[in-house]
Amino acid sequence: MRRVRSFLLVSCCLIFISLSAQTKKIIIKAGKLIDTENGKVLSDQIIYIENDTIKAVGNNIPIPNDAIIIDLSKATVLPGLIDCHTHITGQPSGDYYGDIFRKTPVDDAITAHIYAKRTLDAGFTTCRDVGSRGLVDVALRNAINNKDIPGPRLLVATFFIGSTGSHGDLNGFSPYLNFEGPKEMNGVANGVDELRKQVRYNIKYGADVIKFGASAGVLSEEESVGAPQFTQEEMNTIVAEAKLWGKKACAHAHGTEAIKMAVKAGVASIEHGSILDDEAIALMKEHGTYLDADIYNDEYIMSEYKKLGYPDKILNKEKLVGQAQRESFRKAVLAGVKITFGTDAGVYPHGWNAKQFKYMVKFGLTPMQAIQAATVNAADLLGWKEKVGSITVGKWADIIAVTNNPIDNVSVLENVQFVMKGGVVYKNEMTK
């Protein structure tokens, strides 16, 4: 009897191993396919996927008998989109001070999965999240990676690093008020020794990228909008320490001087980049620094933030930089600065990320260049160009589709009908 039981147990295990080892084969028939690496639109393409990986692409691919067929022959297919500047764990509720001072990271954790799903449904299969409270971004990333919840692949920054009184610091309150908790969880650090420790702390607790405030900001209450908030030595230290641990650094920077300092320090990207002069543009080209400019959200801030309870001093700062940022973007494009796609989603509702495409085209890019900014360029910035950003052999099967060709009208990307991430279909409205 024991031998029979042992035999049955071994047989069941072998059957389970055999079933689990079976390869899932998918064929996508694409009417049009946007080749983001070469800037071309191809017709009548076949994409062959095994499990989560693209194995073949072309117009004469043999179709295995046991493959699942997905017919997108009347659609335009392109790689999953990438947003390099999101705050995916929250968005304004309509109570400015309540959001900042009464809510806790637990509140963010309760709703973060909703925003992740909205972002994925919008066709963004990868995002860089550049600042969150209480390590919620790390937990969200891990839950998505474990397939516990749906959402885009995330690279996260954990705590925004800022100096005392900066865009990253609560300010305007009595010094007698005590905000308890580990100092490093505020992200506030000053001087090279504290900054090295803060970078190490962020990385220890899960940061994939280091984000710091090179300049003042808009959606905070310090007086300046663009003045430098670290010294050159401090910025150099942040970037060098990140590099030592194999991480890239990006800099929140609105003002011209702060942008130049951050570029000289060696950041991978300038976030916002609102006020660029010729010298700043030349430095960015020399260093190969990406411009990650959120040029849509001025529309939303100026139309909605008064209703959401934001004080006039913040709205007045947005008036100063909104149009200047767009003109800086135009100058950078004309000069040949490397451009990627970053929206600051969370400043406006998650899932609206693609609204930025038409503004990128309006201010200098072609539709193909705007799509490349959100695919191959973004993949390069993230250090993932071998994994995402194009529909090519060996990359993850992150694939989206729209009914019409976005090269003719880039705004069609605001309504993505098909979303696949890693060979799994999360949305398919093509057959309805």
Once rounded to an integer, what is the mean pLDDT over residues 164-187?
70
Once rounded to an integer, what is the mean pLDDT over residues 266-289?
97
User: Does residue 369 have a pLDDT over 90?
Assistant: yes
pLDDT score for 13: 45
pLDDT-wise least confident of 171-185, 288-302, 393-407:
171-185
Once rounded to an integer, what is the mean pLDDT over residues 261-279?
97
pTM for the model: 0.92
Q: What would the two tokens of residue 123 be? A: 């066709």
Helix (H, G, I), strand (E, B) or coil at 194: helix
Output the CATH code of domain 23-80+390-428. 2.30.40.10
pLDDT score for 177: 66
pLDDT score for 306: 84
Q: What would the two tokens of residue 386 be? A: 């071998």
User: Does residue 352 have a pLDDT over 50?
Assistant: yes
Q: What is the helix, strand, coil percentage profile of the chain, to 5? A: 40, 20, 40
User: Quick one: pLDDT band at residue 17, thresholds 50, 70, 90?
Assistant: very low
Once rounded to an integer, what is the mean pLDDT over residues 156-173?
82
User: Does residue 364 have a pLDDT over 60?
Assistant: yes
User: Quick one: pLDDT band at residue 7, thresholds 50, 70, 90?
Assistant: very low
Q: Residue 128 and residue 382: Cα distance in Å, rounded?
A: 8
User: Quick one: pLDDT band at residue 168, thresholds 50, 70, 90?
Assistant: confident
- DSSP one-letter code for 354: G
pLDDT score for 351: 97
User: What are the pLDDT digits (tens) for 92-115?
Assistant: 877 777 777 778 888 899 999 999
Domain map (residue ranges) of the chain = 23-80+390-428, 81-382
CATH number for 81-382: choose from 3.20.20.140, 3.40.50.970, 3.10.300.10, 3.30.1360.10: 3.20.20.140
Q: How far is CA 27 from CA 36, 64, 151, 388, 401, in A?
A: 20, 9, 23, 19, 14
User: Does residue 1 have a pLDDT over 70?
Assistant: no
pLDDT score for 21: 56
More confident residue, 318 or 418: 418
Beta bridge partners of 69: 27
Average pLDDT, the chain: 91
Pairing mode, if any, of strands 399-402 and 68-79?
antiparallel
Residues of the chain with pLDDT > 90, as a percent, come to 73
